Amino acid sequence: GQNIDQPTEMTATEGAIVQINCTYQTSGFNGLFWYQQHAGEAPTFLSYNVLDGLEEKGRFSSFLSRSKGYSYLLLKELQMKDSASYLCAVRKTDSWGKLQFGAGTQVVVTP
Amino acid sequence: GAVVSQHPSRVICKSGTSVKIECRSLDFQATTMFWYRQFPKKSLMLMATSNEGSKATYEQGVEKDKFLINHASLTLSTLTVTSAHPEDSSFYICSARAEQTNTEAFFGQGTRLTVV
């Protein structure tokens, strides 16, 4: 099995920056994904990291440290529409396509 | 990008009846699809892996006779919740693997099942 931990909830104001941390413990690591999920909707893909370092995509960036079992998702210039749950998910080498999800971090953006 | 369509989006059924949920890959062939379940404010829990032309692989603790999965073609997998009970009420989401892409699986819109 594997443990994937992320904070339950974070609150930030519009225009600010928020960093969502995710730690994991797993054998056979083969990639970490971040998804955004609005209430009652399916998750939408945000980012993918398999090598150490930072991946930047517009207002969203994701970082991975494999040796530390750590990732973060950075949301810049927060907008009200960014209020959602952010899910960290890990893929193992023996299960291409299967993802193990963390419990999700609910981000609340306030005016 | 690839599109996965899930139907129905919402369903209400009576206890004891069965409900079928469809997951279709619209613009690609999916030899493998995945079924997840999500309780309110909880994360997605993988229920089973659906393999085209063979039996599904269920995760530990998931009753295969309760949750019947059929993957008869390269674009369609179905999940049937048999003899539904109120505790089966949940959000069910499918995803499809589009070969070995970095974007991994594409998710359907989800099905909100309410058993009354």
Listed in sequence order, the residues at least 6 apart from B72 whose beta carbon sits closer than 8 Å to its beta carbon are B52, B53
Rounded mean pLDDT, B81-88: 96
Q: Give CA–CA dist B30/B114, Å, rounded.
A: 28
> Residues B99, A53, A70, CA angle at the centre, nearest 5°?
85
Which among B69, B80, B68 has a CA at the least distance from the CA of B19?
Answer: B80
Q: Is A79 on the interface with B (CB under 8 A)?
A: no
**Range from A8-22, A26-40, A41-55, A88-102 that averages highest in pLDDT:** A8-22
How many angstroms separate the CA of residue A15 from the nearest CA in chain B? Answer: 26
pLDDT digit string (tens) for A45-70? 899 999 999 999 899 999 999 999 99
Chain B positions contacting chain A at CB under 8 Å are 6, 32, 34, 41-46, 49, 91, 93, 95, 97, 100, 102-110, 112
Selected residue of A9, A45, A47 to mutate for chain B interface (largest B Cβ count, 10 A): A45
Q: What per-residue confidence (pLDDT) applies to B54? A: 85
Q: What per-residue confidence (pLDDT) applies to B102? A: 56
Selected residue of B39, B99, B104 to mutate for chain A interface (largest A Cβ count, 10 A): B104
Which among B71, B70, B79, B86 has a CA at the least distance from the CA of B7?
Answer: B79
How many angstroms separate the CA of residue A26 from the nearest CA in chain B? Answer: 16
Residue with tokens 């299960």: A95
Backbone angles phi, psi at A33, to 5 degrees: -120, 150
Using CB atoms, pick whichever of B41, B49, B106 lies closest to residue A98: B49
**A:B CB pairs within 8 Å:** 56
Average confidence score pLDDT of chain B: 89
Inspect the interface and report whether the beta carbons of A33 and B34 lie closer than 8 Å. no
Q: What per-residue confidence (pLDDT) applies to B47? A: 94
Using CB atoms, pick whichever of B42, B46, B97 lies closest to residue A103: B42
How many angstroms separate the CA of residue B61 from the nearest CA in chain A? Answer: 14
pLDDT digit string (tens) for A28-43? 888 999 999 998 888 8
Query: Do you find a cis peptide bond into B40, omega within 30 degrees of 0?
Result: no
Q: What per-residue confidence (pLDDT) applies to A28? A: 82
